Amino acid sequence: MNAPQILSARVVPGHQVASGQNGDPRFPGGTLKMQASFFREAGLDLSCYFGGTINVRIAPCTYQVVRAPLTLWQVKWHPVEPAEDFSFFDVRVRQPEGGAPVDGKIYYPHPDTKPDHFQSPDVLELLLPYLKGIAAGSELILEMDPAQILVSCDARLGGPLGSPPEE
């Protein structure tokens, strides 16, 4: 990994479609559960991660996809919904109050193939092992490779951790 970008993120409520907690009958058990076997066949095993995404807001920053270590094209994971493209990026996450960092993935369903449930440009969806105490409003510290995802911030509002606002 290149020198990581380190930034603070805040857990925000998601659509609860990935975990299945929104009760949408199109996605029994959640989209991740339905997608898991297709991802596994392509070489990505999600069994070490919690069965939903953790959505985090990185505002005042936004991100730009540079190069995904893994992209799965035209995954037909649902009998009725169209095939989708998915990219996965490396992320290391730690809680500000301490504890060991955990490695995970940024889950990125490509917006041009995704039928609905779009995310704001300052929200990332994380696939992580279960982390005790994580809830909406929790702060997480993210480390990401800028060769994979490039973070840019509104200089008037502050930047990644350790970067003072520009004058």
- 60's tokens: 């005042």
Domain of residue 128, CATH code: 2.40.30.30
φ/ψ (deg, to 5) at 61: -95, 160
Asked if the structure places residue 122 within a domain, the reply is yes
- CB of 143 closer than 8 Å to CB of 5: yes
The tally of CA atoms less than 13 A away on the side-chain side of residue 4 is 14
Rg (CA), the chain: 16
Asked if the structure places residue 145 within a domain, the reply is yes
Say how far apart CA 61 and CA 58 lie, in whole Å. Answer: 5
Q: pTM of the full predicted structure?
A: 0.85
Say how far apart CA 31 and CA 23 lie, in whole Å. Answer: 11
Using DSSP bridges, classify how beta strands 84-94 and 102-109 pair: parallel, antiparallel or unpaired.
antiparallel
pLDDT at 118: 56
Quick: pLDDT tens for 117-164.
Answer: 556 889 999 999 998 889 999 999 999 999 999 999 875 545 554 443
Number of domains in the chain: 1
Quick: pLDDT tens for 87-124.
Answer: 999 999 999 888 899 999 999 999 888 666 556 889 99
Say how far apart CA 61 and CA 160 lie, in whole Å. Answer: 8
- CB of 74 closer than 8 Å to CB of 95: no
pLDDT-derived band of residue 20, with 50, 70 and 90 as boundaries? low
DSSP designation for 14: -
Asked if the structure places residue 84 within a domain, the reply is yes
Asked if the structure places residue 117 within a domain, the reply is yes
| Region 36-51 average pLDDT | 93
Q: What is the three-class DSSP state of 47?
A: coil
Asked if the structure places residue 74 within a domain, the reply is yes
| Structural domain boundaries, residue 45 | 5-153
Asked if the structure places residue 121 within a domain, the reply is yes
